[in-house]
Chain A
Amino acid sequence: MTLAAEIDNDTSPEKLLAPVLSAFWDEDKSWSLDVYRRHDGYEGLRKALAMSPDDLIAYVKDSGLRGRGGAGFPTGMKWQFIPQGDGKPHYLVVNADESEPGTCKDIPLLFANPHSLIEGIVIACYAIRSSHAFIYLRGEVVPVLRRLHEAVREAYAAGYLGENVLGSGLNLELTVHAGAGAYICGEETALLDSLEGRRGQPRLRPPFPAVAGLYACPTVVNNVESIASVPAILNRGKDWFKSMGSEKSPGFTLYSLSGHVTNPGQYEAPLGITLRQLLDMSGGMRPGHRLKFWTPGGSSTPMFTDEHLDVPLDYEGVGAAGSMLGTKALQCFDETTCVVRAVTRWTEFYAHESCGKCTPCREGTYWLVQLLRDIEAGKGSMTDLDKLNDIADNINGKSFCALGDGAASPIFSSLKYFREEYEQHITGKGCPFDPAKSTAWADQRTEVNA
C-alpha cells in the first residue's frame, strides 16, 4: 500500500506533535544551563521542593507517567516502593545504556538537553530520600559523555547538586558512569551488577531493586526519558500532562523514525499517534517504495506490517495489536529488504550479547543463528522453520531475563507474517533480494519500480 500524504487540518504536524523535551534543541548551546534556564529550567525543581517528598511521589503517580525504557511501569509507583525510614542509603540509578537495536531517543536527548535529566534526578532523589544518584551511560557515545560532564559541573556550580540544594536541606551527589560495551547492561539488575564493578549479568528477582538494589540498598532504576519528563510535569502540572495521550498512557514522548523513510528523525508527540500519521506528515516512505515491515519499539518488540499503520502507538494500543510499545523506535523497512536477512542480523546480535548466564538464551540464540544463516544462504530445509519456532519457544519466557524474550520476538513475528519469504529462500536455494537496492543511496543509480 502506498502512503500518499493526505494531510487535512486535523492531521497537521502542528496539532499532532508536541515538542517538550525537544522544544529548544535548535537553539545555540541548547545543552547549556543558561539556555535551559531560559526555557523554565529548574522551575519544576522549585515546585517539587515546596512539596513534601510523599506528596511529590503521589503527584508523579497521579500524573500517570509510565516508564519510557520499554516496560511502561508507572514511574511514581517505582518511587513509592522504596521503603522509608529503613536507615539504609537509597540510590537513584538512571539507565542511559540505550542499546536496543533501533532505539535512538535518549542519546539525542542527552546530547541536546542534558539538564532536563539532571533536574529530574534532583526531583526524584528528593522524593525517594536519596543522596547519591548515578547516570549509567553506555560508553560508546563520547559526545554525550562530554556534555553530561559539563552539565553536571554546571549544576554543581549553580547549587542544584551538592550540599543543601537550593536551601532545601537535600544533599545530593551525582556520578556519571561510563559503561564499557554490553547490551545486557540495559537490563536493570545487570546494570546494577555492572555498576558494582562486575560482569553485567542479571540478578534473580525477588528481591527487587526497590528493596535490594545497588550495594543491596533500596534503589530506583529509571530510564533517561522517564526522569527527564518529570520536571515538565511539575512545572506545567499533571493536568496539562494528562491532557495529552490517553487515560492509561498519558503524556508526550519521543518517537524515533528510522530506515527507508523520507525523513528519519525524532518526533515528539502525545502518546497514541499512529505510524500513518507520522509518515503522512514527514514525507512518507522514500519515493517509489512502500512499507514492508517495521518495529514499534526496537528489535525486541514483535514486528508489524503495513496492516498495522493505524495502531495507536501507546502501551495499550500496541499491546492489543500483539506487540509492545517498547522504546518507540520505529524502524521502517521497505519492500527491497529481505526479512530473513533482517531477522538473521538481529539474532546474531542477541547471540553476541547474550551474557551466558542462563542456558535457554545462551544455547538457543546460538542455534537460531546457525539455522538462520543456513536458511538465508539457501541451505535450509522446510523442517528448519518449525525448528526455529521451537527453539524460540524454548527461549521465550524460559530465560533468566528479558533478553531471551527479545530474541524470540523477531523470530515469532517474522514467521507469522513472512513465512512465505522464508520458504522462498529454501525452495529457491538462496536469497531473492538484492541488498544493493536497500541502501540509502540505491535510488541515485537506478530507478527502482516498487
Chain B
Amino acid sequence: MTTTPSEQGQGVSLGMPQLPAPDYPDDVRARLETDAREIIARYPGSRSALLPLLHLVQSEEGHVTRTGMQFCADMLGLTTAEVTAVATFYTMYRRKPSGDYQVGVCTNTLCAVMGGDAIFEALQEHLGVGNGGTTDDGKVTLEHIECNAACDFAPVVMVNWEFFDNQTVGSAKRLVDDLRAGAQVEPTRGAPLCTYKETARILAGFPDERPGAVEASGSAGPASLIGLRLARGEAAPARVVHPRDGGPQRDAGDAPPHDASPAEHLSSHDAPQDTSSSDPAHPAGPVAEEGE
C-alpha cells in the first residue's frame, strides 16, 4: 500500500511512495490519546490494546483510515505495516466509508436455509446495493455475515451488531426502511440502536452509558427459555417462541422475491460469492476481504 501503480506501460515503475497519513486535528488527537491510554492500561502488554484501539479509531471516523492506523502505531510503538496487517485480518474493521447502520444478514447454512438467502436477496433489490454496498443517503451498509451464535432464532439479521431475531423478508424490508427514515429501531435482543460509531466505542471497551441500555429487551430471548419452561412442566411450548407464521409481521412482502424453480435458482451463488474485494478480477475466490 506504499506505492501507487504507475500509469506508464514501460517497464516496471515503483512509482511515488504514498505520502504519510494526515494527522488528526489536535483536539481530536488529544481526546483519543486520553482514551487510548485508558485502554492500554488494561493490559500487561501494550500491544494487546491494538484490537480495541482499532475499534476506537473506527468510533471516530466510522471506518479504519490511514490516519487511524498511524495513530494506533504511534500509541503502541508499532510500524504502520504491523497495524495494517492486523486491521486487514479482521472482518469488523471497515476499510472504506460506510453507513450509520450496518445491516448484516446471516447467510451461513442454517440461517440461509431458513430464509436468510431470500432476505439477503430481497434487501439487495430493495436497497439497490450489493454486498458491502451503502445506500446513497449514507444510512445503511448491507452485507452478508457468518454465523452469529443465534441459530435458535433463525433467520437472523444484525444491525450494528444487535440482534434482530426470526426475521422475514417483510420484516427486514421494514427494518431498513425505518433505519433510513430515522425512526428509533429496537432490536429483539439488545439496546435501542445507536450509530455504528457509537457502537464501535462500546467495542473499544467503554460501557454504554445510556440509561436503560443494559436491561433493554429483557433477560433472555424466548428460545433461550424454552427448555427451562418445559423442565418446570409449563406446557404449550409452541406459544413460547416467536410466531413461526410471521404473525403480525407477515405481509405481502414476505413472499419469496422470485419463484425459484430448480432450474433457475442459484442457491449459494446468490449470496456469499462476492467475498473477494481484494481482487476484483477474480471475484469467485473465497479469500478474505483484504487488500486496499
Residues of A within 8 A of B (CB): 12-14, 17-19, 22-23, 25-31, 89, 98-104, 106-108, 111-112, 132, 138-143, 145-147, 149-150, 153, 175-183, 194-200, 215, 255-260, 262-269, 281-283, 286, 299, 329, 331, 333, 337-338, 341-342, 344-346, 348-349, 351-353, 355-356, 365-366, 369-370, 373, 376-377, 430-436, 438-441, 444-445
Q: How many whole Å from B276's CB to the nearest CB in chain A?
A: 9
Residues of B within 8 A of A (CB): 42-45, 47-52, 54-55, 76, 85-86, 89-93, 107-110, 112-115, 117-118, 145-155, 158, 160-163, 166, 168, 187, 189-191, 199, 202-205, 207-208, 213-215, 217-233, 237-238, 240-241, 244-246, 250, 254-256, 259-263, 265-269, 272-273, 275, 284-288
Is the Cβ of B269 less than 8 Å from the Cβ of A182? Answer: no
Q: How many whole Å from B181's CB to the nearest CB in chain A?
A: 23
Q: Which of A142, A153, A262 has the most CB of B within 10 A?
A: A142
User: Which residues of B sit under 8 angstroms from A111, Cβ to Cβ?
Assistant: 189, 220-221, 224
| Complex Cα spacing A199 to B115, Å | 33
| Complex Cα spacing A100 to B109, Å | 11
Is the Cβ of A265 less than 8 Å from the Cβ of B227? Answer: yes
Is the Cβ of B227 less than 8 Å from the Cβ of A22? Answer: yes
Q: How many whole Å from B137's CB to the nearest CB in chain A?
A: 24
| Complex Cα spacing A31 to B160, Å | 22
Is the Cβ of B219 less than 8 Å from the Cβ of A139? Answer: no
User: Which residues of A sit under 8 angstroms from B260, Cβ to Cβ?
Assistant: 434-436
User: Which residues of B sit under 8 angstroms from A329, Cβ to Cβ?
Assistant: 151
User: Which residues of B sit under 8 angstroms from A107, Cβ to Cβ?
Assistant: 149-150
Q: A29-B215, A259-B114, A376-B268 are in contact. Are A142 and B262 (CB under 8 A)?
A: no
Q: How many whole Å from A200's CB to the nearest CB in chain B?
A: 7
Q: Which of B44, B230, B268 has the most CB of A within 10 A?
A: B268
Q: Which of B108, B219, B250 has the most CB of A within 10 A?
A: B219
Q: How many whole Å from B199's CB to the nearest CB in chain A?
A: 6
Q: How many whole Å from A283's CB to the nearest CB in chain B?
A: 6
Q: Which of A176, A281, A440 has the most CB of B within 10 A?
A: A440
Residue pairs across A and B with Cβ atoms less than 8 A apart, 23 shown, are A13-B233, A25-B220, A26-B219, A139-B55, A139-B92, A140-B158, A143-B217, A146-B208, A178-B203, A197-B48, A198-B50, A259-B110, A259-B113, A263-B226, A264-B152, A267-B230, A342-B109, A345-B107, A352-B272, A352-B275, A352-B287, A439-B155, A440-B155
Is the Cβ of A140 less than 8 Å from the Cβ of B214? Answer: no
Contact of A348 among B51, B244, B272 (CB under 8 A): B272
Q: How many whole Å from A384's CB to the nearest CB in chain B?
A: 16
Contact of B147 among A99, A268, A438, A441 (CB under 8 A): A99
Is the Cβ of B48 less than 8 Å from the Cβ of A104? Answer: no
Is the Cβ of A194 less than 8 Å from the Cβ of B228? Answer: no
Contact of A194 among B49, B51, B145, B162 (CB under 8 A): B51
| Complex Cα spacing A149 to B256, Å | 40
User: Which residues of A sit under 8 angstroms from B146, Cβ to Cβ?
Assistant: 99, 101, 183, 349, 352-353
Contact of A433 among B42, B49, B204, B262 (CB under 8 A): B262
| Complex Cα spacing A89 to B110, Å | 42
User: Which residues of A sit under 8 angstroms from B47, Cβ to Cβ?
Assistant: 196-198
3 tightest A-B CB contacts, nearest first: A265-B226, A267-B227, A197-B50
| Complex Cα spacing A260 to B155, Å | 11
Is the Cβ of A180 less than 8 Å from the Cβ of B227? Answer: no
Q: A256-B152, A341-B267, A436-B256 are in contact. Are A178 and B228 (CB under 8 A)?
A: no
Q: Which of A29, A143, A149, A256 has the most CB of B within 10 A?
A: A143
Contact of A29 among B76, B219, B241 (CB under 8 A): B219
Give A331's nearest chain B residue, CB to CB.
B110
| Complex Cα spacing A262 to B50, Å | 44
Is the Cβ of A146 less than 8 Å from the Cβ of B207? Answer: yes
Is the Cβ of B91 less than 8 Å from the Cβ of A19? Answer: no
Contact of A25 among B224, B263, B267, B268 (CB under 8 A): B224
